[in-house]
Amino acid sequence: MPEVKSIFREVLPKQGQLCVEDLPTMVLCKPKLLPLKSVSLAKLEKMQRDAQNTIRQQELSQSEQPSTQA
């Protein structure tokens, strides 16, 4: 289709330089893949959480008791 070709012609700049300047830009920190936890680490953390919870509950019940007595 010669007509169409005549309508759209490719553009090639004949003058001037075509260049891309590498400007230093600010860098983002990279995305982080999260490391998976080993079974023992998961167990340790679970034990620690449970222990903290039980202690917190004990403290709560202790702090509630005097207030109910008073």
Partner 1 sequence: MGTGLEMEPLLQAWSYFRRRKFEHCSQACSRILEKEPCDQEPGSEHLTQAAWSLKTRALTEMVYVDEIEVDQEGIAEMLLDENSIAQVARPGTSLKLTTAKKFDGPSPAVRPVTQSGRPITGFVRPSTQSGRPGTMEQAIKTPRTANTARPITSASGRSVRLGTASMLTHPGGAFINLSRLNLAKYAVRPQLAKTLFEYIFHHENDVKNALDLAALATEHAQFKDWWWKVQLGKCYYRLGLYREAEKQFKSALTHQDMVDIFLYMGKVYIRMDQPLTALGLFKQGLDRFPKEVSVLCAVARIHEEMNDMKSASEYYKEVLKQDSSNVEAIACIGSNHFYTDQPEIALRFYRRLLQMGVYNCQLFNNLGLCCFYAQQYDMILTSFERALSLAENEYEAAEVWYNLGHVAVGIGDLTLAYQCFKLTLANNNDHAEAYNNLAVLEMRKNHVEQARALLQTAAALAPHMYEPHFNFASLSDKIGDLQSSYIAAQKSETAFPDHVESQRLIQELRQHFATI
Binding residues for partner 1, per CB under 8 A?
Answer: 24, 26-38, 40-41, 43-45, 47-48, 51-52, 54-55, 58
45: Cβ contacts below 8 Å, ≥ 6 apart: 37
55: Cβ contacts below 8 Å, ≥ 6 apart: none
**Alpha-carbon torsion (55, 57, 61, 64), positive or negative:** positive
Q: Which is nearer to partner 1, 18 or 29 (CB)?
A: 29
Amino acid at 55: I
Q: Which is nearer to partner 1, 44 or 60 (CB)?
A: 44
Q: Which is nearer to partner 1, 45 or 64 (CB)?
A: 45
Query: How near is the Cβ of 25 to partner 1 at its closest, in Å?
Result: 8
